[in-house]
Amino acid sequence: MKMLQIFLLSLLLFKVSAQQVDEAVTYLCTEGYEFSVEEQECKDINECERLPDACKGGMGCINHYGGYFCLPQNAQIIISNAQEEATPPPPHLIHHHAAYPATSNQARLTSVHCPIGFIADDFNYCRDVDECVLSSYMCQWQCINQPGSYSCICPEGYELQGTRVCQDINECESGLSCREDQVCWNYFGGYRCYPRNPCKEPYIQTGEGRCSCQSLSVCRGLPPSIVYKYMSITSERSVPADIFQIQATSIFPNMHNTFRIKAGNEEGQFFLRRSSNVSGMLVMTRPLIGPREHVLDLEMVTQNSALSYRSSSVLRLTIIVGPYAF
């Protein structure tokens, strides 16, 4: 009987000791995993569900084995067929503070072959390549990135020619019209309507864009004629640049002609160079930034000292600077 009591006591002590040993065992998993008592293994933690605001700035949260990463909401993830057969590497399990390395039959991520316009990231996912950041010359105006590709767009007043170049739309030929008493003038990026008869008293219209004074007494001190012309240039054009030529329409013997900018050049962006006795060249000396309109009065003075003759005519040139450098 005494020996039976001793035997039962020994079993009881063994059971208590075994319970104490089990309670002393600790299971620790690598970061991003937690130990599952039911499955007796380390399980991945879904940080996207557990962490509030895991990704900032409107980024989407993508859970991954042992962690997570953030992608734009419009990002697409493409997984090749080869990767579908791959399994994630098992986490390291620490038992009694002793790490067990991955076994030799641990699955390994296979290489990913991404389609054109995509590139594999560190997680072997195919992510879109943003071609628009590769070069500022991808498009003449604006580049729009697309999944696996990109496209170019043009501003208002232009249309895409080919894949990257913006071509000015001639609104005067595309159905847009001005009033009957106006003439349509196309410029880079738009159009304007100017009066068909620009003449104001005491001038009368004697031709297209030409105004003449019929009374010498009324027009005393005024040029006998004014011619209206229009032209368009792109913004930020390189300088110096010859942009417009003025030329005498009537040539008389023994007459000397000089040319000057009579008005409109207060900021000094232009210079009128005498090319010959009957012509002058308007030179742009400083880059012009558009959209903007410049109105210049280019004067030609004709004189003969022997005959004490002097006369002048004015060409009123309207220069429209487009909003872009194309």
Same domain, 190 and 314: yes
Write down the mean pLDDT value for the chain.
Answer: 81
Whether residues 264 and 221 share a domain: the answer is: yes
CA diameter of the chain: 159
Give me the mean pLDDT over the 8-33 stretch. 51
Asked whether residue 224 falls in the same domain as residue 154, the answer is no
> Do residues 84 and 187 both lie within one domain?
no
User: pLDDT: is 123 or 225 the higher one?
Assistant: 225
pLDDT at 288 over 60: yes
Q: Is residue 137 part of a domain?
A: yes
What is the DSSP annotation of 186-214? EETTEEEEEES----TTEEEEETTEEEE-
**Got the DSSP string for 80-109?**
-HHHHT--PPPPPEEETTEEEPPPTT---P
Tell whether 144 and 198 lie within a shared domain. no
Number of Cβ within 10 Å of residue 317's Cβ equals 22
How far is residue 317's CA from residue 313's CA, in Å, rounded to a whole number?
A: 13
Give the model confidence (pLDDT) of 145-203 as tens digits.
Answer: 999 999 999 999 999 999 999 999 999 998 777 999 999 999 999 999 999 999 999 99
The tokens describing 21, both together, are: 């040993």
Strand runs labelled E in 108-189:
118-120, 126-128, 142-146, 149-153, 158-161, 165-168, 182-187
pLDDT (average), residues 253-278: 94
Place of tokens 């009368």: 204
Q: What is the number of domains present in the chain?
A: 3
Residue with tokens 């030409």: 210
Task: Give me the residue label for tokens 């207060």.
Answer: 266
What kind and span of H or E run contains 284?
Answer: strand 279-284
Q: Are residues 155 and 221 in the same domain?
A: no
Range of the domain at 46: 27-102+110-129
Per-residue pLDDT at 227 = 96
Task: Identify whether residues 254 and 266 lie together within a single domain.
Answer: yes
Angle at CA of residue 297, ends 296 and 303, nearest 5°: 150
- The answer to whether position 233 is within a domain reads yes
- The predicted model gives 254-263 an average pLDDT of 94
pLDDT tens digits along 53-72: 888 767 788 887 778 777 77
- Locate 115 and state its tokens: 């389609």
